[in-house]
Chain A
């Protein structure tokens, strides 16, 4: 309980501790705290900015979506129109082609009919000749009567 040299010893150590604290403890910690404060403020500002940007982006996205929908509708309308056109064109083409086929077929038929007629004519001529031969009882010289025969077959 008595006062003694401990008083001085304590005073010296007290000032040494205070000095150490002032020199090596307080400034770095305060600096870290200040830095963190600045960092948090920056972070909050960045978050605000990000939020704002997101709002803008959302707005832009909405606009783009509307535009895209409009364009899509336009494209679909165009496509429908084009499809109708193609159908019409095809119909036209088909009709033309059909007609062409019919014409060709008709021409073929005519051609074949003519051919058949020619064959028939030739056979009739030869039959007539054969009949005439029998009737006349003698051979007709085909070369001598060729002109007459040709005339006759053309009349058939």
Chain B
């Protein structure tokens, strides 16, 4: 740990877990948050510059790469990059065909975006924890979290977007009455309406919450372990960080895949008009 002399372990950890947040201080001036108290003062009306920058940057990288292939895509023998992109696209297409029974041109591109974007954001976890924050520190930026998916704002934003789409398509496919009916008329028929609504409401609301918290929890925990490993003496770190990083490659892709698959499944449920109730 490079600046271990000036920081205690807990300060080091806390430092690594704080976003670069821009907002209004208690005295009315606008600026970056320097510590947890600043963050508390800023409240909701502030923005995590690092999460936004890395998420959008990775999103743009994804768009640029795939757009490049899409523009030059031919039916002839594909090159290396086109091959890779086609492999990803076919993988997503297979997943969507396997889980989604309706017909909606949005679902497959949505699944592709979710999968690749989350995978890219998660992959930032494999960059050694001190590299970019150290460079940022040299440039005068006090805090930097480079893994956007360890920021609950990011995961909740995606999960709520998916949730919004689920609500939208539920109403669109089943009609408003149909959707309300689905929420209130079973499992116990019309006499158990309040209880039905409670059960179905929990069921419905748990979808975005579990979606967001699963991804956030996994990535946050993974990042935390990398930070803890970084507290070891420099010559011993690799004994733990190497196996954890290798294992983490699996988590990176697995979490992206789970998020994507559940999105497809939820949207499929939203499209599914049940006629036996």
B160 interface contact, C-beta 8 A: yes
A26-B113 Cα distance, complex, nearest whole Å: 10
Residues of B within 8 A of A10 (CB): 51-52, 55, 153-154, 157-158
How far apart are B87's CB and chain A's nearest CB, in angstroms? Answer: 10
Given contacts A5-B47, A21-B112, contact A26 B89 (CB under 8 A): yes
Residue from the list B70, B93, B156 in contact with A28, Cβ < 8 A: B70
How far apart are B263's CB and chain A's nearest CB, in angstroms? Answer: 11
Whether the pair A14, B157 counts as a contact (CB closer than 8 A) is yes
**Interface class of chain A by DSSP:** helix
Q: How many residues of chain B are within 8 Å of chain A by beta carbon?
A: 52
Q: List residues 9-60 of chain A with CB under 8 A from any CB of chain B.
A: 9-11, 13-15, 17-18, 20-22, 24-33, 35-36, 38-39
26 inter-chain pairs at a CB distance below 8 angstroms, sorted by A residue, are: A1-B17, A3-B156, A4-B43, A4-B46, A5-B46, A6-B154, A9-B157, A10-B52, A10-B158, A13-B52, A13-B56, A14-B157, A17-B62, A17-B63, A17-B113, A17-B117, A22-B106, A22-B109, A25-B63, A25-B70, A25-B109, A25-B112, A26-B109, A30-B89, A32-B75, A36-B78
Residues of B within 8 A of A154 (CB): none
A20-B64 Cα distance, complex, nearest whole Å: 10
B172 interface contact, C-beta 8 A: no
Kindly list 8 other residue pairs between chains A and B, CB separation below 8 angstroms, not including A7-B153, A7-B160, A11-B158. Answer: A2-B44, A3-B44, A9-B52, A26-B112, A28-B70, A29-B70, A31-B73, A32-B86
Q: Which 3 A-B pairs have the closest CB atoms?
A: A10-B157, A35-B75, A32-B73
As a 0/1 sequence over residues 72 to 89 of chain A, the CB contacts with chain B under 8 angstroms (1 = contact) are 000000000000000000
